Structure 1
Amino acid sequence: MASSSKKIKNNEEFPTDWDIDYYRADHESDEHWQMRRHFMELHKDKFPEDRLVCLAAVFTNMEFMGCRYPSETMQLVAELSKEVVKDYRKSRETRLKRTFVAASEAAEARVKARLGGHSGHQQNLNRNNSDNSKLSGMHKSNNLFEGLPFGKYVLFLIGGRNCLRMSAQRCNIEYEEKEVEGPNNTKKITVFLNGKLVSDACEENLKAAKAQVFNNALDVLQNKCYSIKPNPLRDTIKINKSNNEIVCGVVKQQADNAEDKKLDASNKGYKMMKLMGWTGGGLGSKTQGREEPVGYLLKNNRAGLGNESCKLDRKYFRQILQNYLESEDIRELQFEPSFTKEERAMLHEIAGKFNLKSTSHGKDAERRLVISKKTITNEQILSEILLKKNPSYIDKYFVQVPEAKARFYPEHTEKLDLYM
């Protein structure tokens, strides 16, 4: 009842007057939504709103897609969902019986039609097929950009003040800044995306106007569009050379980031994973996380690369980068300073031919080469993180959703900062 909008559970009280229907996703089928809704209705007084919404998402991911989470989370969700699952399976059994009867009647109608039955049987058949399609619970379109004012523009938070223009180029969207004289001898700058006004600013001089319009546009776009930011502490495959052999390992840092920052409660990914039930350690059912072997890089048919018979020549390096290109691995390859200047130049050249991105960091004896894939699109990043909950992408990127999508993805609403 509305008069009892708060209840007490374990000496804690949580608001219960929030709107569950606010969290229905555009792409969600009726069947999935009814289960998720039932789950939240049953436990509305037991958890804070954001925690319950995340647990409900975990529940449907487990039930319909077979996703796995830390054992404590799975046990908690299994206990909370007993009644929901029981009701769902009972209704499903009834529905299957109805579908079977409808299919039997349709088969009987076809037989009668062949024997010269009335046309009314065909109408019954069409009606049965229509009913069955309604029962199938098909998903709606997974259009993440539906209803957003700037379409598929995604703010990619790198490059300082150039990020607005660079993001537009990445999305193949026209970016334009117009300079005009403002009132009282001020300078006015206006920013447009595909001819649509984003923001403007008037200041005493051009430099101040550009700085202000950037801040205004950044604020508008982070509210109206998706934002993506690479995780500076993402997994990187570190490749060393020792005694004519290649050694691979995984490090939790970026080649151009010398700081060894701790993954703590101030980290965006840390907060998001805690909401989903993570309690520390590696991800996965056995907390194996991202420590899977990277030996696939060193495979050459049946023979392993890096053995005594292998020569560190162009063919050798080409095979490593080809293995990387053909894999689903999205982590960067970080070639350490143990590689010579000539070897790094060779790797850079081969990477270009494979359409891989290569950049160098550090000076002199600390120079290292980082190679990564160019083909990861904004749409792919958003789909893998928001819809598929892919740990590989969650490790590599932070995502902030626009205000219009916040109710669908509450664990991705925290604002991302742009570091200049």
Structure 2
Amino acid sequence: MRLLHTSDWHLGRSFHRENLIDAQAAFVDHLVETVRSERIDVVAVAGDLYDRALPPVEAVRLFGEALRRIRDTGARAVLISGNHDSMVRLSYATDLIDASGIHLRSSLEAVGEPVVIGDEHGPVAFYGIPYLEPAIAGPHWRLQGRGHPAVLGHAMDLVRADLAGRPPGTRSVVLSHAFVSGGEPSDSERDISVGGASHVPLSVFEGVDYTALGHLHGRQTMAETVRYSGSPLAYSFSEEHQVKGCWILDIGPSGVSAAEFAPAPVPRPVARISGRIDDLLTDERWEPYTGHWLQVTLTDPLRPAFPMDRLRERFPHTLVLDFAPDDRPPADDRSWARRIADRSEPELVLDFVDWARGAPATDEERGLVDAAFQDIRLGEVAR
């Protein structure tokens, strides 16, 4: 059996207000072509199908199209909900959808009940464990323990109990959306620590042949049989060096016999660059970045005028602008109360102007600030 492991599609997500639906549609094209060319039998999608519980119409349309096209290749698909998805909405009509070969697993009641798909070596049991919110899953199962380790540990106990009752030689694949200890996060995953400890030990997945993980956006091999596929696109600038794609695995009579990573197309690279604005606008070494989505950090001693407009003349896809002067004075470690003890209100406003712009206020601006506070005092006296 050939398995394709993907996750964290986040359909409907934007990137610093840039609509990504076309890039996500291009990934779906790539995915379907990979399923066809690699003769994939089962596509496993480990959660965060959408970017939010109520996705936009165009994301729902793309999701439906992706499922139809996967089905048309002759492959089956097993999918779970992630922490960005609505567990209830994705579990709607799953018993009817199952008949098409598309298996959505998004309920607590179905944990431990596998989708069984056979090949020439016998059955493979696919166990879908959706993202488990401890505050919901714990009371549902009447667990004494708290946090993600408790609820995911119980879910895996249900999986192992079911697997133990199946015919000898039954192979097993678990889909899970979780943060495994030792995994490397990026800036684009939503924190799942609310409700208890967020990390789960790798050992929780013992006893199955392969675990297809979702949640972390960079591909990672936690163990030979426990992997993150990562997201198909970069969703933060912290992912600038990550190679996106999916895992393709061969499952033989004794479990996983081979694994390779298939890179996905990059619609537009992301990068972080820094320097003084004149250097960034003139030096040839920055030319390769003119087509990137960029986070730019300016290191000029004084904040330049109209920096975003100027940068976008050379780098039209600049999305984020930061300012970090390279000759900034040492940080003042005094308490806030001590720093303002001898400063008047107008002086505090002028201090802010100096900090925000990187240059002191002009005489005209000082006059405006003084006049504004004078008006405030006169108004207080009149009352």
Give the TM-score of the pair, scaled to structure 2: 0.22
Q: Report the structure, 1 or 2, having the larger strand content.
A: 2
Q: Which has the higher contact order (CA 8 A, sep 6+)?
A: 1
